[in-house]
Amino acid sequence: MSAHPIRYLPPGSTLGVLGGGQLGRMFVHAAQAMGYFTAVLDADVESPAGRVSHHHIQTGYEDPDGLARLAALSDAVTTEFENVPAVSLAALAGQCPVAPAARAVAVAQDRAQEKAHFVRCGVPCAPYAVIETAEQLAAVSADLLPGILKTARLGYDGKGQVRVQTAAELAAAWASVGSVPCVLEKMLPLQLECSVIVARGADGATVHLPVQRNLHRDGILAVTEVYEGNLPPALTSQAAAAAISIASGLDYVGVLCVEFFVLQDGSLVVNEIAPRPHNSGHYSQNACDISQFELQVRTLAGLPLTQPRQHSAAVMLNLLGDLWFAHGETAQTPPWAEVLKLPGTHLHLYGKTLAKHGRKMGHLNITAPTAQQARATALQAAALLGIAPF
Ligand code: ATP
Ligand code: MG
């Protein structure tokens, strides 16, 4: 039991977040809408969350003074990205309630620990080997090739990953990432990808959003579609049950995203977890009666969790910086006014000053009474923005 367990914090209390990116910004928006004060720790003066928070502590994530100020200002603290140093969370936990706990975040930060947890929970994941030494590299079974070498830590958006066909390519790939601890995963024949957002309270109560179907392009989430008939019902209940068992097995408090692969044969395989709201859950802001960010506020403030209800079919388009360069090397604002003429379009921009290729600038949620309408509008919006059809 933590020295500072999560307890009920009435509106008017201050909720803190480590990290000032877009996820922190949307957490801040949700918290403020419910009458909470907010504190963000991020060194970047222009960080998306820092800009909208009541308090912005501008220090690094490991700065003891910054962490002490965050703890002093906040009645409870959460995190918005998994690479927040687990030691920082542990330091905060000495002073105030922290959710998710450092221990759970540490599992999500390390692909080897993460996979061991999946195995413990009895949820199938891709066949894999941990590679930390030259001996382990030499001992890798040929069954795991072709495969994907992933650094155990600090990967995101497909970074820190190398696809390898042969043992020689594997050895070269491991050298190319600096021989840091890695996981080699067997390359699986994917039919599709999906994910589930779970929220778990300090009392163990668990709710989840509907299962999302995700399309990745170049290792980055491009499109999420969520509506009835999108996925076989047997699969969605299996994914939800697996996600809940993964959260419960960590004694998790907060919002957790569990990403899955569905293989060609229809079987479900867990890919990875993120100890926070996730890009694939953004549709919930406009298509559900409780968003993933409100769920995060509720878990942190010890508020009750009720099962979210999706009231509209939804498609989410990620808005990457590339869209600003659809017409050449000078950045141009995408045609928002034309996009927003389309019914059921909801624009979310993160307030980032500079557009860059591959940078997440915002997302567009499209809601409609039917899946067909949501898809049709999303395809029109995509065409206006220069996003390839899906
Ligand atoms: P993010 O943090 O953005 O989710 P990531 O860098 O953590 O990405 P993964 O989720 O591990 O990366 O992989 C990125 C994508 O690569 C997956 O969504 C999937 O499309 C593909 N991929 C990863 N592992 C495998 C595998 N074992 N077999 C087939 N495809 C895979
Ligand atoms: Mg992923």
**Residue that has been written with the tokens 């803190």 in this structure:** 16
**Domain's final residue, options 163, 186, 209:** 186
For residue 158, pLDDT over 70 is answered with no
CA distance 5 to 46: 32
C-alpha distances out from residue 50 to 16, 68, 207, 292, Å: 11, 17, 29, 20
Q: Are residues 177 and 228 in the same domain?
A: no
pLDDT at 1: 52
Confidence of residue 235 (pLDDT cuts 50, 70, 90): very high
Q: Are residues 303 and 227 in the same domain?
A: yes
Q: Are residues 67 and 19 in the same domain?
A: yes
Percent of the chain surpassing pLDDT 90: 93
CA distance 292 to 151: 28
pLDDT at 115: 97
Query: Comparing C-alpha atoms, which of 111, 246, 263 is closest to residue 187?
Result: 263
Q: Are residues 280 and 326 in the same domain?
A: yes
Note whether residue 172 is domain-resident: yes
* Cα dihedral 171, 119, 291, 202 sign: negative
- Position 360: which residue type? K
pLDDT at 3: 82
Query: In total, how many domains does the chain have?
Result: 3
CA distance 390 to 194: 15
Q: Are residues 212 and 351 in the same domain?
A: yes
Q: What is the CATH number of the domain that holds 147?
A: 3.30.1490.20
Note whether residue 115 is domain-resident: no
Q: Are residues 273 and 318 in the same domain?
A: yes
Go through the chain and tell me how many residues it has: 390
Note whether residue 266 is domain-resident: yes
Task: Give the number of the atom of ligand 1 that is nearest the alpha carbon of residue 126.
Answer: 27
Task: Give the number of the atom of ligand 1 that is nearest the alpha carbon of residue 155.
Answer: 6
Ligand 1 contact via 271 beta carbon (within 6 Å): yes
How many A from CA of 8 to the centre of ligand 2? 33
Mutation pick for ligand 1 pocket among 148, 153, 214 (CB with most ligand atoms within 8 Å) = 148
For residue 81, pLDDT over 90 is answered with no
pLDDT at 43: 97
Q: Note the pLDDT tens digit of each residue in 327-381.
A: 888 999 999 999 999 999 999 999 998 999 999 999 999 999 999 999 999 999 9
How many A from CA of 195 to the centre of ligand 2? 10
Q: What is the CATH number of the domain that holds 267?
A: 3.30.470.20
Furthest-apart CA atoms within the chain: distance in Å: 60
**Domain's final residue, options 49, 79, 98:** 98
- Position 175: which residue type? A
**Residue that has been written with the tokens 């993160």 in this structure:** 350
Ligand 1 contact via 270 beta carbon (within 6 Å): no
Q: List the residue whose alpha carbon is closest to atom 15 of ligand 1.
A: 219
CA angle 148, 130, 257 (to 5 degrees): 70
Ligand 1 contact via 185 beta carbon (within 6 Å): yes
Note whether residue 120 is domain-resident: no
For residue 157, pLDDT over 80 is answered with no
Strands ordered across the beta sheet of 161-164: 128-131, 182-186, 147-151, 161-164
How many A from CA of 171 to the centre of ligand 1? 20
CA distance 73 to 55: 8
**Domain's final residue, options 154, 186, 218:** 186
Note whether residue 8 is domain-resident: no
CA distance 390 to 382: 9
Q: Are residues 198 and 336 in the same domain?
A: yes
Note whether residue 232 is domain-resident: yes
Confidence of residue 15 (pLDDT cuts 50, 70, 90): very high
Note whether residue 107 is domain-resident: no
Q: Which residues span the domain enclosing 263?
A: 190-385
Confidence of residue 219 (pLDDT cuts 50, 70, 90): confident
Q: Are residues 42 and 80 in the same domain?
A: yes
Q: Are residues 289 and 157 in the same domain?
A: no
C-alpha distances out from residue 297 to 16, 79, 284, 314, Å: 10, 12, 14, 23
Note whether residue 108 is domain-resident: no
Could you give the count of Cα atoms lying within 13 Å of 301 in the half-sphere of its Cβ? 27
Q: Are residues 209 and 340 in the same domain?
A: yes
pLDDT at 287: 98
Q: Are residues 315 and 363 in the same domain?
A: yes
Q: What is the CATH number of the domain that holds 34?
A: 3.40.50.20
pLDDT at 380: 98
Q: Are residues 343 and 302 in the same domain?
A: yes
Residue 265 is given by DSSP the state: T
- How many CB atoms lie under 10 A from the CB of residue 161? 16
Residues 6+ apart with CB under 8 A from 216: 158, 193, 222
